Amino acid sequence: MLPLSLMFIPIPLPGFVFGGLYMFYSYYQAKRGSDNINHDAHIYGALFGVVFTVIIIPTAIANFIEQVLSWKIF
């Protein structure tokens, strides 16, 4: 599992943590509605990607759970 790093966040994060944080940010911004970005499209696109992946590759659920459980903070 390779960590993701952003230019403005110098802490490397695993993909599932980054994805969860981004979904929370998209939900917050969608409810706030102060910019001209359709954050609901990002949320539904991510949900579609998860559902489609599970339909096409059912073993992806077990692999994902295994990776999450094997992740250590330090």
Q: How many angstroms from the chain centroid is the CA of residue 46? A: 8
Please give the pLDDT value at position 54.
95
Query: Can you give the residue ranges of every domain in the chain?
Result: 15-31+39-70
Please give the pLDDT value at position 74.
65
- Residue 1: partners with Cβ closer than 8 Å, 6 or more residues away: 14, 15, 67, 70, 71
pLDDT tens profile 9-61: 788 888 888 889 999 999 999 998 888 889 999 999 999 999 999 999 999 99
More confident residue, 62 or 4: 62
